[in-house]
Structure 1
Amino acid sequence: MAQVLEFRLPDLGEGLTEAEIVRWLVAVGDVVEVDQPVVEVETAKAMVEVPCPYGGVVTARFGEEGTELPVGAPLLTVAVGAAATGTTTGNGSSGGMPSAPAAGTPGTAAESSGNVLVGYGTGAPAARRRRVRPTASAPAARVAPADEPAGAAEARVAADIADDTEQSGPVPVISPLVRRLAREYGLDLRQLSGSGPDGLILRADVEYAMRAAGAAAPAAPAAPAPAAVPGPAPRPPAVPTPTAAPVPAAPAAERIPLRGVRGTMADKLSRSRSEIPDATCWVDADATELLAARAAMNAAGGPKISLIALLARICVAALARHPELNATVDTAAREIVRLRDVHIGFAAQTGRGLVVPVVKDAHRRSAESLTGEFARLTEAAREGRLSPAELTGGTFTLNNYGVFGVDGSTPIINHPEAAMLGVGRIVPKPWVHQGELAVRQVVQLSLTFDHRVCDGGTAGGFLRYVADCVEQPAILLRSL
Structure 2
Amino acid sequence: MAQVLEFKLPDLGEGLTEAEIVRWLVQVGDVVAIDQPVVEVETAKAMVEVPCPYGGVVTARFGEEGTELPVGAPLLTVAVGPAAPGEETEGSGNVLVGYGTGAPPARRRRVRSGEATRFAAAPGGGSGGAGGHAGTRGAAASPVGRTSVAPAVTPVPLIPPAEPSRAAAPNSQVGATAAPTRPDGPVPVISPLVRRLARENGLDLRQLRGSGPDGLILRADVEHALRAATSDGATATEAPAPAAPTPAADVRGTRVPLRGVRGAVADKLSRSRREIPDATCWVDADATELMNARTAMNAAGGPKVSLLALLARICTAALARFPELNSTVDLEAREIVRLDQVHLGFAAQTERGLVVPVVRDAHARDAESLSAEFARLTEAARTGTLTPAQLTGGTFTLNNYGVFGVDGSAPIINHPEAAMLGVGRIVPKPWVHRGELAVRQVVQLSLTFDHRVCDGGTAGGFLRYVADCVEQPAVLLRTL
Counterpart secondary structure, 1:414:
coil
CA positional deviation for 1:409: 0.2
Quick check: 1:120 aligned with 2:70?
Answer: no
> Does the 8 Å CA contact 2:34/2:91 hold for their aligned counterparts?
no
Quick check: 1:454 aligned with 2:404?
Answer: no
* Counterpart code for 2:109: G
Quick check: 1:245 aligned with 2:236?
Answer: yes
Quick check: 1:177 aligned with 2:127?
Answer: yes
| Distance of aligned partners of 1:18 and 1:178 in 2 relative to their CA distance in 1, 3 Å threshold | closer
* Counterpart code for 2:118: Y
Q: Match for residue 52 of structure 1?
A: 52
Quick check: 1:43 aligned with 2:43?
Answer: yes
* Counterpart code for 1:120: R
CA positional deviation for 1:383: 3.5
Q: Match for residue 24 of structure 1?
A: 24
> Does the 8 Å CA contact 1:319/1:325 hold for their aligned counterparts?
yes
Q: Match for residue 264 of structure 1?
A: 264
Quick check: 1:423 aligned with 2:423?
Answer: yes
Deviation readout 1:125-159 (Å, 9 max, x if unpaired): xxxxxxxxxxxxxxxxxxxxxxxxxxxxxxxxxxx
* Counterpart code for 1:256: V
Counterpart secondary structure, 2:467:
helix
CA positional deviation for 1:83: 7.8
CA positional deviation for 1:91: 3.5
- How far apart are the structure 2 equivalents of 1:340 and 1:179? 51
Quick check: 1:378 aligned with 2:378?
Answer: yes
> Does the 8 Å CA contact 1:348/1:381 hold for their aligned counterparts?
no
- How far apart are the structure 1 equivalents of 2:47 and 2:450? 31
| Distance of aligned partners of 1:333 and 1:171 in 2 relative to their CA distance in 1, 3 Å threshold | closer
CA positional deviation for 1:97: 2.7
- How far apart are the structure 2 equivalents of 1:302 and 1:180? 56
TM-score (norm 1): 0.69
> Does the 8 Å CA contact 1:46/1:388 hold for their aligned counterparts?
yes
**Residue pairs, 1:114-263, within 5 angstroms:** 120=118, 175-177=125-127, 245-246=236-237, 252-263=252-263
Pick aligned residue for 2:110 from 88, 96, 114: 96
Q: Match for residue 174 of structure 2?
A: none
Quick check: 1:71 aligned with 2:48?
Answer: no
When Rg is computed on C-alpha atoms for both structures, the one with the higher figure is 1
Displacement over 3 Å in runs of 4+:
82-94, 98-101, 170-175, 178-181, 247-251
**Residue pairs, 1:321-340, within 5 angstroms:** 321-340=321-340
> Does the 8 Å CA contact 2:29/2:126 hold for their aligned counterparts?
no
> Does the 8 Å CA contact 1:61/1:77 hold for their aligned counterparts?
yes
- How far apart are the structure 1 equivalents of 2:283 and 2:374? 25
Q: How many residues align?
A: 358
Q: Which sections of structure 2, spanning at least 5 residues, go unmatched? A: 94-107, 132-137, 140-183, 185-233, 240-245
| Distance of aligned partners of 1:86 and 1:100 in 2 relative to their CA distance in 1, 3 Å threshold | farther
CA positional deviation for 1:31: 1.5
* Counterpart code for 1:421: L
- How far apart are the structure 1 equivalents of 2:85 and 2:313? 62
| Distance of aligned partners of 1:305 and 1:60 in 2 relative to their CA distance in 1, 3 Å threshold | same
> Does the 8 Å CA contact 2:83/2:109 hold for their aligned counterparts?
no
| Distance of aligned partners of 1:405 and 1:374 in 2 relative to their CA distance in 1, 3 Å threshold | same
Identify which range, 74-83 or 308-317, moves more after superposition: 74-83
| Distance of aligned partners of 1:84 and 1:438 in 2 relative to their CA distance in 1, 3 Å threshold | closer
* Counterpart code for 1:403: V
Alpha-carbon RMSD across the aligned residues, in angstroms, is 3.0
CA positional deviation for 1:372: 1.0
Q: Which sections of structure 1, spanning at least 5 residues, go unmatched? A: 102-116, 122-169, 182-195, 198-210, 212-242
> Does the 8 Å CA contact 1:82/1:97 hold for their aligned counterparts?
no
Quick check: 1:284 aligned with 2:284?
Answer: yes
Q: Match for residue 466 of structure 1?
A: 466
- How far apart are the structure 1 equivalents of 2:47 and 2:368? 29
- How far apart are the structure 2 equivalents of 1:247 and 1:27? 44
CA positional deviation for 1:282: 0.5
CA positional deviation for 1:100: 5.0
Deviation readout 1:13-68 (Å, 9 max, x if unpaired): 22221111122111222221111101111222222211111112212211122211
> Does the 8 Å CA contact 2:271/2:415 hold for their aligned counterparts?
yes
> Does the 8 Å CA contact 1:357/1:377 hold for their aligned counterparts?
yes
* Counterpart code for 1:246: T
Counterpart secondary structure, 1:446:
strand
- How far apart are the structure 1 equivalents of 2:295 and 2:130? 69
- How far apart are the structure 2 equivalents of 1:62 and 1:311? 49
Identity over aligned pairs, percent? 78
> Does the 8 Å CA contact 1:40/1:47 hold for their aligned counterparts?
yes
- How far apart are the structure 1 equivalents of 2:341 and 2:130? 60
Counterpart secondary structure, 2:417:
coil
CA positional deviation for 1:172: 8.7
**Residue pairs, 1:286-435, within 5 angstroms:** 286-435=286-435
> Does the 8 Å CA contact 1:288/1:440 hold for their aligned counterparts?
yes
Counterpart secondary structure, 1:20:
strand
Deviation readout 1:169-204 (Å, 9 max, x if unpaired): x969973128999xxxxxxxxxxxxxx99xxxxxxx
- How far apart are the structure 1 equivalents of 2:129 and 2:399? 58
CA positional deviation for 1:256: 1.2
- How far apart are the structure 1 equivalents of 2:128 and 2:346? 51
> Does the 8 Å CA contact 1:281/1:447 hold for their aligned counterparts?
yes
| Distance of aligned partners of 1:246 and 1:319 in 2 relative to their CA distance in 1, 3 Å threshold | same
Counterpart secondary structure, 1:64:
coil
